[in-house]
Structure 1
Amino acid sequence: MRHAFALLGVVVLALGAAAPAAMGQSAPHDAERFYSNDPANLPEPQGKPPAAKDAMERDLLEAARLGAHSFYDTSKVPLDTPTPRALNADLPTAPSEDDLRKCLAAAPEAKTAIGWTYNRMFWCQELGFRIAYEKVDLQTGERTYKGTNLIRYQMVVAGTGTQRAVRVFFRPIPGSVSYPDWSVLDDPGSLNLDLVAQCGQESEYCSVAKPSVRKTWGEWNSSGSWVWWDIASHEEASDAPLDKIIFHSWRLRYDGTSLEYPAGGRQTVERPFRCDSATYFNRWGTVFDKGCVLTNVIPHLQYDISDTRVQEVARHIREAQDSPAITWPKESHTKNIPGKWVLTDPEDPQLPDGLHRVLGDSAIAKENTKFKNYACDRNGPYNALTGLPPKTPQQTAEGYQCDEYPFRSSEEGASNSRYDFSVKWVPGSQNGSAGGRLNQQFFFDDRILRIVDEFWVKINN
Structure 2
Amino acid sequence: MSQRLQLTRQWKRGAVTACALTLLAATGAAAAPDGGPAAPKQKRYEWVDASTVPAEELSDLPKPVPFSQYQRSRGKNTASRPSPNPKSADEALRKECAKHEKEAKTVKGWVKSRWQSCQKRPYDLVLRSLDGTRDIGRLKFDVWILGRAHDGSRRADYTASVEDIIVQAVHGEDAKKWRIGQSFDLGIDLNDSDPDPKVTEPGVIRRDELLGVWDKTPSWQLTYTSPDKGPQYDKGNRQRVAAMLFMDLNAGSPNALPYSLAGSYRSLARFDYAGPAVGKHMGTVFTEARVALRLSMKDPAVNESALHIYDAQNRPERTFPSWLGKSVPGAKEPLHRLMDKGKRDLNRKKAIRACTEVWGSYSGSGLDCDEYPFASTKEGANAGNNKFSVRLLSSDDNQTVGTKRLNGMYQANRVLDGDPFYVTIVS
Q: How does 1:140-151 map to 2 (within 5 A)?
A: 147=137, 149-151=139-141
Q: Structure 1: how far apart are the matches of 2:293 and 2:227?
A: 30
Structure 2 partner of 1:160:
150
CA contact (8 A) 1:13 1:262 kept: no
Structure 1 partner of 2:341:
362
For this pair of structures, how many residues does the alignment match? 344
Residue 101 of structure 1 pairs with residue 82 of structure 2: no
Q: Structure 2: how far apart are the matches of 1:247 and 1:24?
A: 43
Q: Structure 2: how far apart are the matches of 1:14 and 1:127?
A: 27
Residue 450 of structure 1 pairs with residue 424 of structure 2: no
Residue 323 of structure 1 pairs with residue 295 of structure 2: no
**SS at 2:112's partner residue?**
strand
Shift of 1:450: 0.7
Structure 2 partner of 1:427:
394
Shift of 1:260: 9.1
Residue 111 of structure 1 pairs with residue 125 of structure 2: no
Q: How does 1:188-199 map to 2 (within 5 A)?
A: 188-189=175-176, 193-199=180-186
**SS at 1:199's partner residue?**
strand
Pick the aligned partner of 2:297 from 305, 324, 341. Answer: 305
Pick the aligned partner of 1:248 from 243, 256, 263. Answer: 243
Pick the aligned partner of 2:282 from 278, 285, 289. Answer: 289
Which stretch of structure 1 is more off in the superposition, 227-236 or 258-267?
A: 258-267
CA contact (8 A) 2:182 2:247 kept: yes
Q: Structure 2: how far apart are the matches of 1:109 and 1:309?
A: 35
CA contact (8 A) 2:46 2:128 kept: no
* Residue identity opposite 1:454 in structure 2: P
Structure 1 partner of 2:166:
178
Residue 126 of structure 1 pairs with residue 92 of structure 2: no
**SS at 2:304's partner residue?**
helix
Q: Structure 2: how far apart are the matches of 1:208 and 1:366?
A: 42
Q: Structure 1: how far apart are the matches of 2:336 and 2:168?
A: 53
Question: Structure 1: where are the runs of 5+ without partners?
Answer: 1-11, 34-91, 136-143, 343-351
RMSD: 4.5
Shift of 1:101: 2.8
Deviations 1:235-254 (A, max 9, x none): 79xxxx75344433222244
CA contact (8 A) 1:122 1:294 kept: no
* Residue identity opposite 1:371 in structure 2: K
Q: Structure 1: how far apart are the matches of 2:138 and 2:246?
A: 23
CA contact (8 A) 2:46 2:127 kept: no
Q: Structure 2: how far apart are the matches of 1:121 and 1:102?
A: 14
Q: Structure 2: how far apart are the matches of 1:270 and 1:23?
A: 33
Change (3 A) 1:300 1:14: farther
Q: Structure 2: how far apart are the matches of 1:327 and 1:172?
A: 55
Change (3 A) 1:281 1:116: same
CA contact (8 A) 1:256 1:263 kept: yes
Q: Structure 2: how far apart are the matches of 1:279 and 1:448?
A: 10
CA contact (8 A) 2:302 2:397 kept: yes
Residue 387 of structure 1 pairs with residue 359 of structure 2: yes
Q: How does 1:366-377 map to 2 (within 5 A)?
A: 366-376=345-355
Larger RCO: 1 or 2 (CA < 8 Å, sep 6+): 1
* Residue identity opposite 1:459 in structure 2: I
CA contact (8 A) 1:29 1:180 kept: no
Change (3 A) 1:232 1:248: same
Deviations 1:275-324 (A, max 9, x none): 242424457xx6332423232x5433221112223211101111222233
Shift of 1:132: 7.3
Structure 2 partner of 1:404:
371
**SS at 2:422's partner residue?**
strand
Change (3 A) 1:218 1:31: same
Give me the TM-score of the superposition, normalised by structure 1. 0.60
CA contact (8 A) 1:164 1:291 kept: yes
Shift of 1:363: 0.2
Q: State the percentage of identical aligned residues.
A: 19
Which has the larger helix fraction?
2
Change (3 A) 1:102 1:432: farther
* Residue identity opposite 1:218 in structure 2: G
Structure 2 partner of 1:31:
50
Question: Structure 2: where are the runs of 5+ without partners?
Answer: 1-20, 29-40, 53-85, 190-195, 230-235
* Residue identity opposite 2:352 in structure 1: N
* Residue identity opposite 1:367 in structure 2: L
Shift of 1:449: 1.7
CA contact (8 A) 2:228 2:273 kept: no
Q: Structure 2: how far apart are the matches of 1:337 and 1:388?
A: 25
Which stretch of structure 1 is more off in the superposition, 314-323 or 242-251?
A: 242-251
* Residue identity opposite 1:247 in structure 2: A
Which stretch of structure 1 is more off in the superposition, 107-116 or 250-259?
A: 250-259
